Copies of this chain bind each other. A is one copy, B any other.
Amino acid sequence: MFESAEIGHAIDKQSYDIAVADLREALLEAQFELQQHKRFAVLILINGIEGAGKGETVKLLNEWMDPRGIQVESFMAPTDEELERPAQWRFWRKLPAKGRIGIFFGNWYSQMLQARVDGRISNARLDQAIHNTERFERMLCDEGTLIFKFWFHLSKQQLKARLQSLEQDPQRSWQISQLDWKQNRVYDKFVKFGERVLRRTSRDYAPWYVIEGADANYRSLSVGRIVLEGLQAALHHQERRQRNPHAAPLVHSLDNRSLIDSLDLRLQLSKEEYRQQLASEQARLALLMRDKRMRKHALMAVFEGNDAAGKGGAIRRVAEALDPRQYRIVPIAAPTEEERVQPYLWRFWRHVPARRQFTIFDRSWYGRVLVERVEGFCAQADWLRAYGEINDFEEQLHDAGIVLVKFWLAIDQDTQFKRFEERASIPFKRYKITEDDWRNREKWPQYVDAVGDMVDRTSTELAPWTLVEANDKRYARIKVLRTLNAALEAAFARDGKG
């Protein structure tokens, strides 16, 4: 969920200055229109890692817009009056009016997270708080409120550096909260529970935006852009009886740096290394699948990736290791007639394996947020809500003991071009290449965005994405096998503990 926010996004000063000039003007204009029509209120929730620039960003938003139309509320320890009333009362009394922008710093999310990290509440209580929050936000959106939820993120290393610089600055050291962020343990817990909260509360009508906080220029510009585009979309939204759509794009990279681009595609294996490792990883997989601890589990693998990234070859190397009765390969193409008259996820649910079984999906339910999104095969509202629905689906798989491993096989454009050419020239491979494949290539940047959003929104502790550097097919195949094996071993180890 935080993958894209740990790759060192940055924007140089010159680009930043140019972009900000335009941004400020547009923000002010949008805010003016908001104030004029008073049709809805805007609520901006600020959360995330300490030191990731939460305070600075709030300050900046106030500078960029007309501060008279903005109210910043920070909810510290509840007052006597607040303690006397239901927990939500303190938030209700500070809600921004229509036409105004409320920035809630230390909101319901900070409270539930801090309580969980401190161990004051259990997971079950956290889930209850999450559920109440969901209903609260749904009601606000039904009443027209436009909600932005920002999670400012830093990697553990970035946090360490940041805390050191804050400490040395007496004017800012007070910014560090009660939580003792210098402890790795606190960071780990915060990120772990944060992920649980984000996964369950990121909904189409009020999605989370995860912002990498290390570089101030990148961070500020990202937040400003998201607020601007969301505001503009809501202002131009005609049907007032519907919730404001979060037409703000998901996080488009401003610095042209994406999770996918940050992969080192030069990684490779020699023939000899490959031969040895293939044999040992295949043997390991065969053993694990026959392990009696599989009685509590099943295995599901999802293969997605660029065209010609080598999904088929990787799947074959996995299957080779196994008894054909143990696994099943499900190729996902256009839905059948029977599947088209069912809810979207139906055709995947039907292939959920029984215990001890292994289902391999060659493409998957992620089609909705990849090809269907990019090609416009479904409405924006449909792919936007799909992230949440997919996370719900995968949570159910996990809860039933199913180990789910998701692969994105990534190649660069040159490699793809070479493979296409090769396919076109070798007669028995020619069937593998179509006009569509060439057309898809033209939408490479859109696919990069879609893959980034997909990983950001669906890579969870329960079902993480594994990005596979696949320019070298040998390297990719070994990484796939090794990841499957590690996932099964981790599940067995958890059984031991539970």
A124 CA to B338 CA, complexed, in Å: 38
Task: From the candidates B84, B140, B350, B399, name the one contacting A355 in the complex (CB within 8 A).
Answer: B84
Q: Do A341 and B98 contact each other (CB < 8 Å), given the known contacts A93-B349, A131-B131, A350-B93? A: yes
Q: Does A236 contact B (CB under 8 A)?
A: no
Chain B nearest CB from A299 CB (Å) reads 13
Q: How many residues of A contact B (CB 8 A)?
A: 54
User: Which residue from chain B places its CB closest to the CB of A124 in the assembled complex?
Assistant: B124
Q: Does A86 contact B (CB under 8 A)?
A: yes
Whole-angstrom distance between the alpha carbons of A84 and B352 in the complex?
A: 10
Find A89's partner among B87, B132, B349 (CB 8 Å cutoff). B349
Contact with B along A90-102 (1 / 0, CB 8 A): 0011010111000
Q: Complex: how many Å from CA A135 to CA B131?
A: 11
Contact A98 B396, CB 8 Å, known A142-B385, A381-B241: no
Q: How far is B48's CA from A98's CA once the two chains are assembled, in angstroms?
A: 43
Q: Is A335 an interface residue (CB 8 A)?
A: no
Instruction: State the CA gap A355–B92 with chains docked (Å).
Output: 18
A242 within 8 Å of B (CB atoms): yes
A41 within 8 A of B: yes
Known: A85-B354, A89-B349. A343 touches B145 (CB 8 A): yes
B-facing residues in A128-146 (Cβ within 8 Å) = 128, 131-132, 135-136, 139-140, 142-143, 145
Tell me the complex Cα distance, A298–B83, Å: 13
Chain B nearest CB, measured from A140 CB (Å):
6
CA distance A128 to B123 in the complex (A): 12
Residues of B contacting A92 in the complex (Cβ-Cβ under 8 angstroms): 345-346, 349-350
A397 to chain B, nearest CB (A): 6
Contacting B at CB under 8 A, from A77-127, are 81, 84-89, 92-93, 95, 97-99, 124, 127
Shortest C-beta distance, A361 to chain B (Å), equals: 16
Q: How far is the CB of A222 from chain B (nearest CB, A)?
A: 29
Closest to A357 in B: B84
With A92-B350, A241-B379, A396-B88 as given contacts, are A342 and B131 in contact (CB-CB < 8 Å)? no
Query: Does A392 sit within 8 A of B, measured CB to CB?
Result: yes
Q: Which residue of A136, A242, A381, A396 has the most chain B CB atoms within 10 A of its CB atom?
A: A396
New A-B contacts (7) at CB < 8 Å, excluding given A38-B341, A92-B350, A99-B341: A84-B298, A85-B353, A86-B396, A93-B350, A95-B346, A132-B396, A140-B343
Q: Please list 17 pairs of residues, one from A and one from B, whose beta carbons are closer than 8 Å in the complex, sorted by A's number.
A: A41-B341, A81-B354, A84-B354, A85-B400, A86-B397, A86-B400, A88-B349, A92-B346, A92-B350, A97-B341, A127-B128, A131-B131, A139-B343, A140-B343, A143-B343, A143-B344, A242-B242
5 A-B pairs with least C-beta separation: A84-B354, A86-B400, A97-B341, A98-B341, A143-B343
